[in-house]
Amino acid sequence: MTQNGAKHSDEYPLEMSKSSSLHTSQNLQLQSLKLVEIGVGLGDLSIRLLGIAPLLSYEIDEALCSFVLQRFAKQSLANHFDLIHADVLSLPFALALQKCESKEKSKEGKADDTTKTDITSTAKYEDTSEKIREQLDEKSASQISPKSSWLATSPYILISNLPYYIATRIILIALKDPLCKGFVVMTQKEVADKFCASSGDSEFCALSVLAQSVGDIRLLFSVPKEAFEPMPKVTSSVFSLRKGQESFLGDFTKSSQRWLSFEKMLKHAFVSPRKKLLSNLARHYDKKQLEEIFATLDMPSHSRAHQVSTQKYHHIFTKLERTHDE
């Protein structure tokens, strides 16, 4: 199996290779950025990406690493290529983030469910790089800067065909990595629909709001299951995100508490999609204050979570945050 969970043969259909390269170069303006690929596979997509920009690829399968290195050694590459044999979810930035989130979940678990909570989290991003670095092989550790980034030491665009069981996790880490300036990924269609949904859509959820809070996210095209061999049971979709110069949440490494507090609020908001948003939030925040915020935003008290725009979620969070600061 590869990093992306596909079989060794034809994990990237030709259509995916051509279209990803085209959309990446046109929509994300990659001329000055490095590309980072998770799951090199047989190297078919890698070859096309190298025609655009320098490429750093990660692959968890040692046999595939050897195959690709031998294959590329026989070819003249348009740009510089680096390949790292590693599990991207075990790199320092990802592990430090996981520890940070685990602390927040542990804190929530100990609190009484009916207790009103402050909007500002007490969890902090902790750099455990030195301890984790010792556990990585020397080659991987020497090419990663865990203090500021996940996959590279300079601004980059992430390219990947992600399996359903790690797709959401990888995308959420990419959103938080300050050096990841955007991505073009292929996932199960259901995952793509959630990240790319607009308010009012039935698929609109916390993931949609979080992605829109970071940048411009777009659903590009679908890839039929017949394009793969062996054929999966689900349709896939390709979507992209280009981060804005200044996002609502800012740099995660500098404002991790704000990020986690916003994510927690969204979790509460969408916990019961069919119930009223006000009821969902009132279980954790002051109901009177929420009613005042809803009135200020001209939001009906019977609004459901999926009916509220990302901008209004920003306003709700800012109001709660400001009240706490006062």
pLDDT in tens, 40-52: 999 999 999 998 8
Q: Is residue 184 a contact partner of residue 240, using CB atoms and an 8 Å limit?
A: yes
39 a known binding residue?
Answer: yes
Domain with CATH 1.10.8.100 in the chain: 253-325
Q: pLDDT over 70 for what percent of the chain?
A: 76
Most confident of 56-65, 120-129, 140-149: 56-65
> Each residue of 83-118: pLDDT tens digit?
999 999 999 889 888 888 877 777 666 554 444 544
> Each residue of 161-208: pLDDT tens digit?
887 789 999 999 999 999 999 999 999 999 999 999 999 999 999 999
Confidence at 244, pLDDT banded by 50, 70, 90? confident
Question: Distance between CA atoms of 258 and 176, rounded to whole angstroms?
Answer: 12
> Each residue of 269-307: pLDDT tens digit?
999 988 999 999 999 999 999 999 999 999 999 999 999
250 a known binding residue?
Answer: no
Give the mean pLDDT of 236-243.
Answer: 95
Give the mean pLDDT of 223-251.
Answer: 89
Question: For the whole model, what pTM was predicted?
Answer: 0.81
Least confident of 61-70, 118-127, 232-241: 118-127
Nearest to 6 by CA among 50, 43, 35, 32: 43
Give the mean pLDDT of 253-261.
Answer: 89
pLDDT at 136: 38
pLDDT at 237: 95
Whether 119 has a pLDDT exceeding 90, the answer reads: no
User: What's the per-residue H, E or C state across the chain?
Assistant: CCCCCCCCCCCCCHHHHHHHHHHHHHHHCCCCCEEEEECCCCCHHHHHHHCCCCEEEEECCHHHHHHHHHHHHCCCCCCCEEEEECCHHHCHHHHHHHHHHHHHHHHHHHCCCCCCCCCCCCCCCCCCHHHHHCCCCHHHHHCCCCCCCCCCCCCEEEEEECCHHHHHHHHHHHHHCCCEEEEEEEEEHHHHHHHHCCCCCCCCCHHHHHHHHHEEEEEEEEECHHHCCCCCCCCEEEEEEEECCCCCCCCCCCCHHHHHHHHHHHHHHCCCCCCEHHHHHHCCCCHHHHHHHHHHCCCCCCCEHHHCCHHHHHHHHHHHHHHHHC
pLDDT at 141: 34
Give the mean pLDDT of 7-12.
Answer: 40
Domain 253-325, CATH homologous superfamily name and number: rRNA adenine dimethylase, C-terminal domain (1.10.8.100)
The larger pLDDT score, comparing residue 49 to residue 125, is at 49
**Which residues sit opposite 56 in a β-bridge?**
36, 82
pLDDT at 123: 39
**CA 18 vs CA 4, 6, 58, 95: distances in Å:** 19, 19, 20, 33
Give the mean pLDDT of 7-19.
Answer: 42
Domain with CATH 3.40.50.150 in the chain: 14-97+124-243
161 a known binding residue?
Answer: yes
pLDDT at 17: 42
The CATH class, in words, for 14-97+124-243 is alpha beta
Peptide bond into 230 cis (omega under 30): yes
